[in-house]
Chains A and B, each alone.
Chain A
């Protein structure tokens, strides 16, 4: 013989529970012999402690917390104009830019002479050092194995953005 079991369920779910338990044990009916609801009559008075409870000492550092450092703050001055690109090749090895590195490119920076830039060369994004000498513009590789690109008069050279940082895994 089964012993009667007592279990506690939310009052709102009473009807659903009866349906459920009947469905789970269709052979032995009725499984739910009685449902008692919580009797809320009577009141138990408790005292109110109106003082704060201190749990341990306050941390002496509490007044000095300034938030953590965020690399974005350091490397992304202008989020709307900043793009990340991946390097393919080692022609910029002299500037510490390796194959597969990620470059942080800020399009809002002025492409002045001497900056490492992303330029559009033959429809492709290319990383080079920009050297301006009067009218002469040169895109310089930073490795003896690669030639520099000299802009001939009449050709246009679009500077896509200025490289602000290089992210290199060691």
Chain B
């Protein structure tokens, strides 16, 4: 039989039974659409939880100098001078599992502007510092590489400082403040971060280049610490091992020597996060599995019924010269056409519904190529399979029996 005739027969059969074709397609449309929407909501929530947890800094790794023992007296951390700028460059160059690395300097003192003053902390790193510590610029800009190199007297203010020193609604950009009697030009402010897990106000902070703090405020030659953001939240242990090895190389430590630094990670946060993430994964997996099964059963039923219902038609086609193969091909083609068209409409529906939900309910959604492909392929496959299976049985029927079918 010619393929073109087969197409004609299949398309005519689909058109002839518009309602049944529509219902069959609807099963697939809903199946695909529902799975895509479910996964979009699930993955969206997962992403948003992930990002809110990681904003707490699960990927943050701190390296501090180890406390040294001098003549039996344990020294404070700041006294030991084991971390240097070259360690930062060394890590930047060689560490594969990190996103960004920055030196960190800290100091505290009184900030003065006009007649107002406020006790606060200053902190600083290189140009990646804001990214690592998740500070976002609200107005103005962050300091540049050039300003770090020249230890420029510039600063970025937290909102608490802006409120207390400049007052609400004031624009501090371009103004000059004094810290420890040194004037600094305000080049930007960062968005409110709120309190951290320990109740500390994270907006009561002034950021400036670490070189400025080192050279102009504390006059130190060594780094207080190095902050690092790891590339993968689930590989913190590996990352910290890599950092340890690299720093030992950089410090030229021998096998027998102890580390002259400490590495700290946010292990508790990480383990919390991974258990939440795992739970979400299981939840998501079961939701999509159930959706796929339910959608699949719907498709299966309607396909099965639609073939059974047409047994007499099959009998007639066999009687007037159709071969079993022709019948099978016709039904298979019908199933493929319905499933593929239904699947495509389902993908479209999934996108529309997901975006509507995002728009109306303000839920975070995330549609991934994987979820679209998975639902489309599974539903289409089920549609084609359950179109093919009863059709195969029908095509093997005795024409007399098929003709007599009521």
Are chains A and B native binding partners rather than an unrelated pairing? no
Q: Which residues in B have some Cβ–Cβ distance to A below 8 Å?
A: none
